[in-house]
Amino acid sequence: MTTTAADLIGLFPPGSRPDTDGTLMVGGCRLDAIAEEFGTPAIVVNEDALRRRARDYLAAFRGRWPRSDVAFASKSFPCTAVQRVMAEEGLHLDVAGGGEILTALKAGADPARLVLHGNAKTDEELEIAVGHGVGLVVIDNFDDIDRLERIVGAGRRQACLVRVIPGVEAATHASQATGHAASKFGLSPEDARAAIARIEAGSRLRLDGVHTHVGSQLLNVDQLAAAVEPIARLGTFEVYDLGGGLGARYTYDEHPPGLDEYADAMTTQARALLPSGSRIIVEPGRSMVAASACTLYRVTTVKRGVVTHVAVDGGMGDNLEVSLTGQRFEATIVNRVGGGEPVSVVGRHCESGDQLVDGVALRDPVVGDLLAVPVTGAYCYTMSNQYNGARRVPVVFTCDGDARLVVRRDTWDDLLVRDVD
């Protein structure tokens, strides 16, 4: 399809625009100035866009179901600064494991507003959760019950939800589907009933309700809403956690449902199937943060041949989404937005699979150019790594023309700091 500079800019964080000389700006900051100050690669986040998305999510659900809460799925961008924004905007935090509990607490989140997930929680993680007063622990298996009953002290009760496999086959990458019958997450409805009965018969745990999740990067709200019926069949509870999974728009060809369409679908099902006075929770991650960020790179090599390879100074060390899930991204030269001939943008790592974007149009790329990839706010920071001795990249918040570092780049010493010999 034919695309314009406006089409491409539309994939960048809301409010992005070219400066008078055509150089792309995010959050009122020129991307070339950010590269000059903070280096490349770097993840650039429009803080205002992040905050507005959080407010929009709360308004969309509370306007349709007053007793609803939005719990940001921290795993999508577990940066303390991002968790702090979500907590400040009134969201709960979905945390997966001890590390995300601790970063959430550092971010100033109220532990009572944390929801702990995990299919293989350790004693240590549950001790951290109970010790800090985490509000809800999601029971994923009977071993969770065993551990919690041992860890929770006499005279105390830990509130929990039982995770139920909804039996929904999601149209997404296999690694992102969590609601099918063979999923490693949650309990079958039959086992969930047994877990519920056991919790209700005990004295250390308090059953607040049930939880379900279909998958990630879903572009069909009907599949998301289909998970409500299986948990409704389990009985009447105070809380029904409907999970997350709404997809984000990565490319020109993708058109995920909007927030209002998603909220309508979920609350319509809730009104039809759940008790009117119950509390519902949704757990957006990707759809909350993906569009708020882009990643900035420097072109290091242009190799022309059968295919023109444009190599940059990052790659699968800061964006594993392409290699793991085949996710398509777009890209542009920062001061020549849109247009050009198709090239393959590749990374610096010693893997043929280290390809960021294949067949993307770039206008006259040369060594030294700045290249920006939009929609990198979800799971890129999460899965950043030190492959080939790469230094993990910084995160820069922009807002109203000001840029500030919220996560520094690894130093060379950071690559050695854990060595003991």
Q: What is the dihedral of CA 43, 44, 49, 53, to 10 degrees?
A: 0
- Distant-in-sequence, close-in-space partners of 369: CB < 8 Å, separation ≥ 6: 298, 299, 333, 334, 335, 336
What amino acid positions are annotated as catalytic residues? 350
SS3 call for 107: coil
For the question of whether the overall pTM of this predicted structure is more than 0.85, the answer is: yes
Residue pointed to by tokens 């369409």: 261
Neighbouring CB atoms inside 10 A of 235's CB total 11
- Count Cβ atoms below 10 Å from residue 365 Cβ, excluding itself: 20
The domains of the chain, with CATH numbers, are: 5-39+292-416 (2.40.37.10), 48-288 (3.20.20.10)
Q: Which amino acid is at 131?
A: G
Give how far Cα 193 sits from Cα of 132, 155, 199, 408, Å. Answer: 29, 25, 10, 47
Q: Per-residue confidence of the chain (421 residues) as pLDDT tens digits?
A: 567 888 899 999 999 999 999 999 999 999 999 999 999 999 999 999 999 999 999 999 999 999 999 999 999 999 999 999 999 999 999 999 999 999 999 999 999 999 999 999 999 999 999 999 999 999 999 999 999 999 998 889 999 999 999 876 665 545 554 656 667 778 999 999 999 999 999 999 999 999 998 877 888 898 899 899 999 999 999 999 999 989 999 998 888 999 999 999 999 999 999 999 999 999 999 999 999 999 999 999 999 999 999 999 999 999 999 988 888 999 999 999 988 999 999 999 999 999 999 999 999 999 999 999 999 999 999 999 999 999 999 999 999 999 999 999 999 999 999 999 8
Query: What three-state secondary structure class fits 232?
Result: helix
Residue 71 contacts residue 89 (beta carbons within 8 Å): no
Closest residue by Cα to residue 371 from 414, 331, 420, 323: 331
Q: Are 13 and 293 in contact (CB under 8 A)?
A: yes
